[in-house]
Amino acid sequence: MKKTVTTLADGRELIYYDGRDDAVRTATDPRPLTAVVSRSEIRLDELTGDPVTIASHRQARTYHPPADACPLCPATGGRESEVPEEAYEVVVFENRFPSLSGGVGRCEVVCFTDDHTASFADLTEERTRLVLDAWTDRTAALSALPGVQQVYCFENRGQEIGVTLPHSHGQIYAFPFVAPRTAATRRRVDEHRRATGRNLFDDLVARERADGERIVLETEHWTAFVPYAAHWPYEVHLHPRRRVPDLLALDEAARADFAPVYLELLRRFDRLFGPDQPPTPYISAWHQAPFGDPRREDFGLHLELFTVRRAPGKLKFLAGTESGMGAFMNDVRPEDAARRLREVASA
């Protein structure tokens, strides 16, 4: 992997990741941009103890531009783009409309391909490995920033999820706090350790492998399953067979094995509802251990992939019980979801 670091016209960092050592990235950003002004602040919900980010400046962010004005496409034909080169492989840059910035974290955009119409599932295994290496590199860099406690790499796909730029991309958040979901998981891990002397992630994966009914696919280095108490209609958790706390700790064997497994899962998601249905909307999220936590080795790196579509033409909405009380109700039995995901295995 070759990494080239440069800046955009307003001083934001831009990083190219190339699979070829001879790639040259010299294009400059000609746009007359002013410096990014962010008014992010983090407030504490006193009733729950959860941090809430207030970022009112994001109301002005780019919203469903026409394809010929996509800011994530390469800068060709006079297009004003966040990526000045005429072509690229994988690129990362600071978000111009960040939720977190100015000493309270950082938000980055990751473009997986310069092809406006391609999805992640269309990528080659080589490109997918390059994305994994970029996620790992950014995790290392962002975790070293002052005040950063957790690095979160994720992809939102589909208008049903709330995506405003259809070009295939993800984001990376460097949180100056431990996210509420992770904090809750850490408490459960600690309780399990005190009660049994064992690791919760290890026991969870071992139980799923022994039961087998919710397993979607397995390889020498990865296990994918629908969780016993899945929140979402179709939800898969992907764990490395050797528990590690973060992307940095994955060994080469697991890295080499990741691309075919992940691409297979994404392609199965697109087959779930039949060939006459639009692409399946999903969220794909890496869960990594917080940095600076003395107990972080007990945390298990894993990826959670889920869709809000529960049937053809029907979505799972977070209504009164979920949004109001955080009490999830799932319309699809996890064992049935796993069976369906096995049935739609690609040829």
Q: Which of 150, 108, 122 shows the shortest CA–CA distance to 247? A: 150
Whole-angstrom Cα distance, residue 164 to residue 173?
18
Contact 316, 331 (CB under 8 A): yes
Backbone dihedral region of 209: left (phi > 0), alpha (psi from -120 to 50 degrees) or beta?
A: alpha
Q: How far is CA 310 from CA 62, 143, 200, 232, in A?
A: 29, 36, 29, 8
Whole-angstrom Cα distance, residue 317 to residue 319?
6
Q: Which of 57, 167, 169, 231 is catalytic?
A: 169
Write the burial class of residue 165 (CB in 10 Å: 0-12 exposed, 13-18 middle, 19+ buried): middle
User: Which pair of tokens denotes residue 338?
Assistant: 């796993």
Active site annotation includes 57: no
Whole-angstrom Cα distance, residue 99 to residue 108?
10
Contact 284, 169 (CB under 8 A): no
Q: Which residues are catalytic?
A: 169
